[in-house]
Amino acid sequence: MTLTTILAAGTATLAIAAAATYLLPRNVTVERSALVDATPEAVIALASSTQGFQQFNPYLTSDPELSIEPFGPEAGIGAGFRFEGREGTGTQTISAITADRVTYAIDLGSMGQPTQHISAVAEGNQTRVTWTVESDMGLNPVFRVFGLFMDRMLGGTYETGLANIARVAA
C-alpha cells in the first residue's frame, strides 16, 4: 500500500464522516416536567420577572459565583439578564408571555441562540411545570454531534430548576 493510497483512503473516510453528520438532527429539544404545589399564576409570575427567575435559576445552584447583570424592565417582555460563569456567557431575554407560558430568547454568542420555555398548567390541585429548550444546530457538523448529548447535558439542570420552582413557588 502506497502513501498516496493511505492518504486517499483517510481523506475519503473523513469526507464520509463529515457528510454523515448532516444526517443527524438539526433541531434538538430537551424537556423536563414536574408537578408542583403552586398555582400556574404563581409559577408564571416568577418566570416572567428577572428577579423571580433568579430565585429558581438552576445555574446559580450549580455555580454560586455566577455573575448576573439584569437589564431592561424588571418583568415582562424585554426583561432579561447577562450571565457569566463556569458554564458559559450570554444573555437571556423574555420574548413572549401567555397565560401559561414564558418564552426566553437566549444568546450564547458563537454557541447558538436557543429558545427556552417554562409552561405552567393546572393538573388537579397542582401545576404541571414544563421546562423546554429548543436549539437549531445549524449546518455545523460539530454542533450536530454535540446535539446528540444535549438531553444528557441539560436534563439534570432543568430537573434542578424544577425542584427550585417547587420550593420557591409553594
d(CA 77, CA 113): 17
Map grid coordinates 416536567 to a residue: 33
d(CA 9, CA 94): 50
d(CA 24, CA 130): 26
Report phi then psi at 18, rounded to 5: -65, -45
The pLDDT assigned to 22 comes to 64
For the chain, which ranges sit under pLDDT 50? Answer: none
This prediction's pTM: 0.87
The pLDDT assigned to 19 comes to 60
CATH class of 3-169: alpha beta
Element (H, E) at 12: helix 3-20
The pLDDT assigned to 12 comes to 52
- Asked if residue 116 lies in contact with residue 106, where contact means CB atoms within 8 angstroms, the answer is yes
The pLDDT assigned to 143 comes to 86
Q: How many CA atoms lie within 13 A of 124 on its CB side?
A: 4
